[in-house]
Structure 1
């Protein structure tokens, strides 16, 4: 059966033990939380997962654990390009595919330098496509180490290869997202918007779904928006999702882990591998206000979490 790539796809956090090692039971708890919130798929080994702070064995272990926990309920994708020679990156794509993911994600910013254009990037993508055949692939416009946003023309060429299933768009701008939606229309490539502020606009333009970092805190609300984009309350919810970013972005991913541990009760710690910042009373007051508003939003929408 062909898996559906649509709806909400959270960009997963990684749970760590206090000593910094992978907390695999914590990863299981995260997966369960995302699924209970209605997620249609999961993006493991991404920037929210602190992928650049993991070694290759940990990346494979994490992806395999998520696949096992999901047990076929939804598709899982994971990143497998982390620089170096193209053939070496292609080899790791194959290893990641062996972990059982539905598609292996390529980072365009790992295939060429910031000053190189798409005329240089395209043949390198072609090489990766050929060297990994027949592995299903994905794309992620990751903001780090530098932000490369793909043109609609390149996205169309990639869609026409028939190999790509998922693209996380990080342009945030509906004026950029719309042409890409048209570029993938009718192909097997599904476009997911990363930005809460343009979530509703992108869905109405025809995006397959959403992959925002804020889905780590309240996936049910993004799922509601995906399922109800034409509901009269959708614009009301969109405005609140935009406001809630003030309680998510500062200190992320620590802010998300703190929310899940203290507000949701997930059995995960606050440990991160990226540089942690000081959480103070102001940060807590912002998150407290967001929590209070979340209750009001769920009451109006009839959500149950």
Structure 2
């Protein structure tokens, strides 16, 4: 029985690897446990942070299946892995992923049209894709920045809402005006927007967004969990926490995901920095960057104690 996509925090999961670059499922089990201990409401597996573009279809499906197993009965698991270039290949991607049993399938906005193609092409390809997908599973969309970022237009958002098949949209627009418009359009519908941008999070929650799904959950998901669930009762403390989260998120620009892997090594979750991503193979995190993360980690732990839920 599929679990409901509730409001709150959905980490964009990393994938741990062994030194031979095979998936380390023991570390994955520890990672899921760490997310749960830190405070989450569900998991977004097989996304860009998970190296979905560098995994085979079989690996993506197994990664989803194991995540569901480790998460247990309480936490919904969404999965993407929608990476093929052709619509036929994307149907195969999603049918295979559906077989793993996720609670929602998440489509990638840039897979349905090239950068120069307009919304009419995009919507036509979406229609073809939907005809090949199972009808008994909720769907979502993810404005993934790789290989190019395609932000859903207002007209497309309206179409997705009217289809009544979509329940999750990971918003990466980083635009306050667009966030307000999306919140207005989705109010009272089954579509839930989850912000991936830390700086606009509190504002988006006030407008009606459902929560947070971004890479900073790989550093301190508990702080996002506190803000998403308690901001109404926190008063000025919500602004204080938002100010920290917005500034802290600039660490994304350092060398992600290597810096998140390093932070998780400090937690005893990961055992190495091994990654399949091309940029990670070209260079490793520097000693100076390690020191930056050490200092960031110390302050983050202090903030976790400061804003610990009762």
Q: TM exceeds 0.5?
A: yes
Tell me if structure 2 keeps the 8 A contact 1:6–1:41. Answer: no
Which consecutive residues of structure 2, in runs of 5 or more, have no partner in the other structure? Answer: none
RMSD: 1.7
> What SS does the corresponding residue of 1:69 show, helix, strand or coil?
helix
Tell me if structure 1 keeps the 8 A contact 2:13–2:44. Answer: yes
Q: Which residue in 2 is equivalent to 1:289?
A: 295
> What SS does the corresponding residue of 1:228 show, helix, strand or coil?
helix
Residues 181-210 of structure 1, C-alpha deviations (whole Å, 9 max, x = no match): 222222222111001111111111110110
Q: Which residue in 1 is equivalent to 2:30?
A: 29
* Mapped pair 1:254 → 2:255: no
User: Which of 216, 228, 231 matches 2:230?
Assistant: 228
State how 1:133-148 maps to structure 2 within 5 Å: 133-134=134-135, 135-148=137-150
* Mapped pair 1:271 → 2:274: yes
Residues 54-74 of structure 1, C-alpha deviations (whole Å, 9 max, x = no match): 110110010010011112211
Q: Given the two structures, how large is their TM-score scaled by the length of structure 2?
A: 0.93
Offset at residue 98 of structure 1 (A): 1.1
State how 1:47-58 maps to structure 2 within 5 Å: 47-58=48-59
Tell me if structure 1 keeps the 8 A contact 2:52–2:83. Answer: no
Which consecutive residues of structure 1, in runs of 5 or more, have no partner in the other structure? Answer: none
Distance in 2, matches of 1:26 and 1:2, equals 24
Distance in 2, matches of 1:162 and 1:194, equals 23
Offset at residue 5 of structure 1 (A): 2.8
> What SS does the corresponding residue of 1:32 show, helix, strand or coil?
helix
Q: Which residue in 2 is equivalent to 1:87?
A: 88
Distance in 1, matches of 2:253 and 2:43, equals 20
Q: Which residue in 1 is equivalent to 2:42?
A: 41
Distance in 1, matches of 2:174 and 2:46, equals 21
Q: Which residue in 2 is equivalent to 1:129?
A: 130
Offset at residue 270 of structure 1 (A): 1.3
Distance in 2, matches of 1:214 and 1:235, equals 18
